[in-house]
Amino acid sequence: MAARDQHGIGAPWGDAAAGDPANRAFQVVGKPHRKIDGLAKATGRAQYADDLVLPGMLHAKTLRSPHAHAMIVAIDASKAKALPGVHAVITGADLPIKYGVIPWTQDEHALALDKVRFIGDEVAAVAAIDEDTANAALKLIRVEYEPLHAFLDPRESLARPEPKIHEESKTGNVSKHVDLAFGDVDAALASAEVVVEGDYVFHGTTHAAIEPHCAVAQFSAEGRLTVWSSTQITHYVHRALAKVLELPIQKIRVVQPALGGAFGGKSDPFSLEFCVAKLAMFTGRPVKMLYTREEVFYCHRGRHPMKLRYRTAASKDGKIDAVDAKILIDGGSYSSFGLVTTYYSGQLLTGPYHFPTYRFDSTRVFTNKPPCGPKRGHGSVQPRFAFEVQLDELAEKLALDPIELRRRNFQGDFTRTVNGQRITSNGFLACLDEVERASGWRARRAKLGRGRGLGVAGSMYISGTNYPVYPNKMPQAGIQLAVERSGRVTVFTGSNDIGQGSNSMVAYVVAEELGMDVADIRVVAADTDLVPVDLGAYSSRVTFMVGNATIDAARKLRTQIAGAVAKEWQIDAARVRMGNGKVFDLDSTERCITTAEAFQIAEARCDTLGATGSYNTPTLGGDYRGGTIGASPAYSFTAHVVEASVDVETGRITCHKVWIAHDCGRALNPMLVAGQMEGSAYMGIAEALLEDHGVNRFGLHAGPSLLDYRIPTSVDTPELRR
Amino acid sequence: MLRLPKFEVRTPESLDAALALLAEFGPDARVIAGGTDLVPNMKHELVTPRIVVSLARIPELRGVGDAGAGWLRLGAMTSLADVAADARVRAQAPALAQAAGLVAGPQLRTMGTLGGNVLLDTRCQWYNQTYFWREALGFCLKKDGTLCHVVEGGSKCVAAASNDTAPALMTLRAELVFVGPQGRRVTPIDDLWLADGAANKKCASDELLVEVRLPPTGPGHRGAYGKLRERASIDFPLLGVATRIELDARGTITDADVVLTALQARPVRVKRAAELLLGVRAEGDAFLAAARAVADQAHRQAHPMPNIPGDAEWRRAMVPVYVRRTLEAAARGAGPVHAV
Ligand SMILES: Cc1cc2nc3c(=O)[nH]c(=O)nc-3n(C[C@H](O)[C@H](O)[C@H](O)COP(=O)(O)OP(=O)(O)OC[C@H]3O[C@@H](n4cnc5c(N)ncnc54)[C@H](O)[C@@H]3O)c2cc1C
Ligand code: SF4
């Protein structure tokens, strides 16, 4: 196993550039195949966590804090325990071990131990014969609180160190502070021909995935625990369960059933996973917990509100000399991925434009609000919004076309950013050209009339990073392939299909490599008893990393099978080709057998067939603390143009049309890529115009429902062109 | 999912049987029509009836028909979708058709009824929340508590009338037909309202709304509805404006009416609308000036409070804009004014 950075030689799609006739050789890749679970989902047959019903299963509910910040003085659950139908009540004392997705900032308890930190924080859990009994029991639990000052404004958290929301934080209510400078920013600012500066605010938003969080646990007579959970990171849930429950990790099995959307909102280990497990252990019966929509809003982990200040220095012809950022991040009540968010808020801005010098100073503080975390485009969306607006301000000041300004600052391909990130291929200019052309930018922009206009923005994002959350030297993604002599291949993958299509993606890759029909490939995924580890569906890493691991495994298998067939035919292995469900001799194509026959030849000549593959990142990133966070083996690039109008009387903005261009590398399935492009544009517009995840003056969530949290309906969605 | 509290459903097949159930169970019973307001309110434990009396099996409550002398009768159980699509309603009462067509979203209009909309509970951001949420707040005056959070230290509930059809029906001078233990009563919709958000309707719990009657309108009738909301579907109004203009054969205004909703506990009639528009031709600058005068008057009268979500100042600023635009739409025979 080696850290591999490219596909290596011999890839069927290998080294051909776009437009190269060699691309025509693809049989699966690049074609709009349906998702392997598409029909099951469309016909209502897919099994989600809440569809699981086990014999004797109990239902669990969570008691939540009505205080934004308070000490727990006493909990009396005796009345709840005495209610007929109640099987167990647990509190913080039953799960006293801390966890948290980032090993260095573990500050969460499954149930509050001695204090609560936001309205909705988990305090106790009840397992009962049904949901109504569990709910009735919650009302019988008496909790005595001693309220503390509640922090609702991040500026106050910064200014006021006491009372501390987390006793263990080193400086007051600061969750994380990162201050990094690359080059002499001050000198560049002092000598610049123009400087623009401004303050920007990004309010909070949440994921609003269709499926609420749900977990089911079963504890066997042999002392083995199984947890089915709507998680997007089985592996971290697995580790966290072992830690908190003090069970040997090999006795725990975590399974992710079909999942109804996540967008980052199911990346953390959540209270319900520990609670159902503990309750199953206590009662000896399977236990299910399904969050209400309101509870989903409380567990949140959505996009951080940020207050951002940017200064950009440039020459008169629009070339950037320096960018200087100061960012205050409202983290809510727990750390979650906050350490990464704080780095990402600065580290991911250094493309697609060239920054000769750059500095960012980002501070994440705790507040007594639902905890923030990763959401689609984690940590980069807020700075990107602010900086792209600042670029427009610069363009205006210099009387330059905003697209032209962006073009002039293009960083180029195969380069290194000022903060040490390695950029390989870079299609940003092509994206800009395309949206400029498609939107009729040049001809139309000045002629749309008052109140209507075209706007542009560019961006870049990672394809995973070489920071594996917990330090280890093992692969980030592993794959196993099992071959059956009938001509069927099963892929075992730890990756989490959260609707993005990763299970389909591995099937396409195997089908391409072994020249098979996608229908003859089965995928077993996200079940820790059955599959090798993958780090999970986050940081846009899955297609890149799991895809490369799959190529690795499939290619080993291909070599083995082709070798066996070559021996059988007594020809050179290079002459054996696999394609269209057939294996044939390149030099005399009439010598041709089915893939199944080839499998049988190989099985007879070699052994039971199978292969493993893996992916790990090469060494990347700058040589400084945090230099690997945000360092990705590959970046994707994008440009959007939006046509919008504002009603000058009402102030309402209507987004009429969006033109989207992405450089995501090779589109393994263009239909799924298009879905991602549409979904992200729609989500971005909604975050800009409609959605607002806030609390009121009491620290209560302003509207924890899909009526009051306004995700766009179909009639609010503009036309999307890609 | 939020659980519904336990209750029993009764499905009487006649009005008399329904009334008997209401009399028998008194405050323990509650009528359910489409349930699109009642069911969420039950899930939030705002109302927890032991008996739910469904009107679904009483056929005479459903449908649009002729009530004689040019009057239209709309059964209380007629769905909002049917009201919005009915050709007679569209011709005789365009503002009502438009308002019904903008309630909530398509699924809810299929279930939701006209009667349920007229009798919709008032709404407030401190009230239309789950039990947990309200408990964390310390409840409020309207339900389980003693304080109002809209007006700090307030001692009166100012939850907002939020039913879209109410202002339209008021401009149309609709009448409501109730039946109760005392028999039938017919009341102009104007007389339904009380200025109390906790209970904004004069309607006893043992009464049933059976139909809404619309007086005839002539060829010079114009009406439109304007609705301010954040999304172009689903959302309740942040402001609702119903307008009516009557024109003579030469296109001169002979009568007019403008009613606003979603501001306070009851719909509000804009004063002097008819006076300001009377004798003006419904086009051109003169009309625009008159419409502006009505808009200014509406602005003076409107004092939205932070009862429902949305910035109250912005809602107030939108009052004259929506009044003017909705009057213009009515004059053009167009509307609704929406999603702008
Ligand atoms: C997401 C959402 C969005 C919504 N948006 C809007 C909106 O934009 N505008 C709007 O106006 N409404 C809206 N509503 C509320 C509701 O859907 C409508 O007002 C609908 O018309 C209510 O009718 P219903 O038949 O469902 O009433 P129900 O819920 O069945 O009843 C409502 C009330 O009236 C009583 N009642 C009903 N019929 C009778 C009768 N014949 N006699 C006596 N009492 C009766 C019930 O006891 C209950 O108190 C929305 C609701 C939801 C859930
Ligand atoms: S207006 Fe006041 S009393 Fe009425 S529902 Fe709202 S908060 Fe409660």
pLDDT tens-digit profile of B107-116? 999 999 999 9
Instruction: For residues B160-187, give the mean pLDDT.
Output: 97
> Ligand 1: distance of its center to the CA of B161 in Å?
12
Is there a domain that residue A1 lies in?
Answer: no
| Same domain, yes or no: B10 and B95 | no
Q: Which residue in A636, A629, A104, A542 sits closest to A344, CA to CA?
A: A629
Strand A422-423 versus strand A415-416 pairing type:
antiparallel
Smallest CA–CA distance from A295 into chain B, residue = B1
Contact B309 A702 (CB under 8 A): yes
**CATH number of B174's domain:** 3.30.465.10
**CATH number of A488's domain:** 3.30.365.10
Amino acid identity of residue A147, one-letter, is: P
B194 contact A CB<8A: no
| Same domain, yes or no: A570 and A685 | no
- The pTM is what? 0.96
Q: Is it the case that residue A272 has pLDDT exceeding 60?
A: yes
| Same domain, yes or no: B310 and B243 | yes
**Do residues A641 and A441 make contact, with C-beta atoms less than 8 angstroms apart?**
yes
- Rounded Cα distance between B188 and B177, Å, is 9
> Ligand 1: distance of its center to the CA of B112 in Å?
6
Amino acid identity of residue B2, one-letter, is: L
A119 contact B CB<8A: yes
Total domains in chain B come to 3
Sheet holding A521-525, edge to edge: A521-525, A488-493, A477-484, A610-615
Domain end: A267, A284, A299, which one?
A299
Q: What's the pLDDT score for residue A16?
A: 42
Smallest CA–CA distance from A62 into chain B, residue = B132
Contact B321 A293 (CB under 8 A): no
Q: Is it the case that residue A8 has pLDDT exceeding 60?
A: no
Tokens 């309205």 sit on residue: A119
**Do residues A229 and A254 make contact, with C-beta atoms less than 8 angstroms apart?**
yes
Q: What's the pLDDT score for residue A610?
A: 97
ipTM of predicted complex: 0.96
Instruction: For residues A22-45, give the mean pLDDT.
Output: 89
Q: Is it the case that residue A505 has pLDDT exceeding 60?
A: yes
Cβ neighbours of A714 in B, within 8 Å: 233
- Rounded Cα distance between A210 and A259, Å, is 9
One-character DSSP codes across B33-77: SS-TTHHHHHHTTS---SEEEE-TT-GGGSSEEEEETTEEEEETT
| Same domain, yes or no: B194 and B100 | yes
- Rounded Cα distance between B89 and B66, Å, is 11
**CATH number of B282's domain:** 3.30.390.50
**Residue A128 — pLDDT band, cuts 50, 70, 90?**
very high
**Residue A24 — pLDDT band, cuts 50, 70, 90?**
low
Residue of B37, B123, B230, B315 to mutate for A, most A C-beta atoms under 10 A: B230
Q: What is the pLDDT of residues A397-439, one digit of tens each?
A: 999 999 999 999 999 999 999 999 999 999 999 999 999 999 9
How distant, in Å, are the alpha carbons of A100, A231, A416, B284 from that of A240? 8, 13, 36, 71
Q: What's the pLDDT score for residue A2?
A: 36
Q: How far is B3 from chain A (nearest CA, A)?
A: 7
Is there a domain that residue B74 lies in?
Answer: yes
- Rounded Cα distance between A394 and A318, Å, is 8
| Same domain, yes or no: B204 and B273 | no
Is there a domain that residue A167 lies in?
Answer: no
Neighbouring residues of A291: CB distance < 8 A, sequence distance ≥ 6: A212, A213, A214, A272, A299
Smallest CA–CA distance from B105 into chain A, residue = A713
> Ligand 1: distance of its center to the CA of B123 in Å?
12
| Same domain, yes or no: A243 and A328 | no
Pairs across A and B, CB distance < 8 A = 67
Cβ neighbours of A652 in B, within 8 Å: 340
For residue A264, what are the domain limits?
49-148+207-299
Is there a domain that residue B340 lies in?
Answer: no
- Rounded Cα distance between A27 and B279, Å, is 76
Residue nearest to atom 41 of ligand 1 (CA): B209
Residue of A122, A145, A700, A717 to mutate for B, most B C-beta atoms under 10 A: A700
Domain end: B20, B35, B57, which one?
B57
Sheet holding A142-147, edge to edge: A115-116, A70-76, A142-147
| Same domain, yes or no: A596 and A655 | no
B132 contact A CB<8A: yes
| Same domain, yes or no: A327 and A269 | no
CB proximity under 8 Å: B 64-123 to A: 105
Contact A651 B314 (CB under 8 A): yes
Instruction: Give the ligand whose atoms come closest to the C-alpha of residue B305.
Output: 2
Domain end: B214, B233, B259, which one?
B214
Beta bridge partners of A71: A115, A146
Phi and psi for A239 in degrees, rounded to 5?
-65, -45
Neighbouring residues of A471: CB distance < 8 A, sequence distance ≥ 6: none
> Ligand 2: distance of its center to the CA of A287 in Å?
39
Is there a domain that residue B131 lies in?
Answer: no
**Do residues A288 and A261 make contact, with C-beta atoms less than 8 angstroms apart?**
no
Average pLDDT, chain A: 95
- Rounded Cα distance between B76 and B81, Å, is 13
- Rounded Cα distance between A658 and A652, Å, is 18
Is there a domain that residue A158 lies in?
Answer: no
Instruction: Give the ligand whose atoms come closest to the C-alpha of residue B236.
Output: 1
| Same domain, yes or no: B181 and B249 | no
Tell how far CA A97 is from the center of its chain. Answer: 26
Q: What's the pLDDT score for residue A275?
A: 98
Of all residues in chain A, the percent with pLDDT exceeding 90 is 94
Q: Is it the case that residue A3 has pLDDT exceeding 90?
A: no
| Same domain, yes or no: A21 and A69 | no
Is there a domain that residue A189 lies in?
Answer: yes
Q: Is it the case that residue A11 has pLDDT exceeding 90?
A: no
Neighbouring residues of A414: CB distance < 8 A, sequence distance ≥ 6: A423, A424, A425, A426
Q: How many CB atoms lie within 10 A of CB B155?
A: 9
For residue B205, what are the domain limits?
59-120+160-214
Q: What is the pLDDT of residues A370-391, one digit of tens each?
A: 999 999 999 999 999 999 999 9
Residue nearest to atom 47 of ligand 1 (CA): B31
Instruction: For residues A211-235, give the mean pLDDT.
Output: 98
**Do residues A505 and A547 make contact, with C-beta atoms less than 8 angstroms apart?**
yes
| Same domain, yes or no: A98 and A234 | yes
Is there a domain that residue A160 lies in?
Answer: no
| Same domain, yes or no: B243 and B226 | yes
How distant, in Å, are the alpha carbons of B42, B144, B159, B310 from that of B121? 12, 16, 9, 19
Higher pLDDT, A48 or A14: A48
> Ligand 1: distance of its center to the CA of B54 in Å?
13
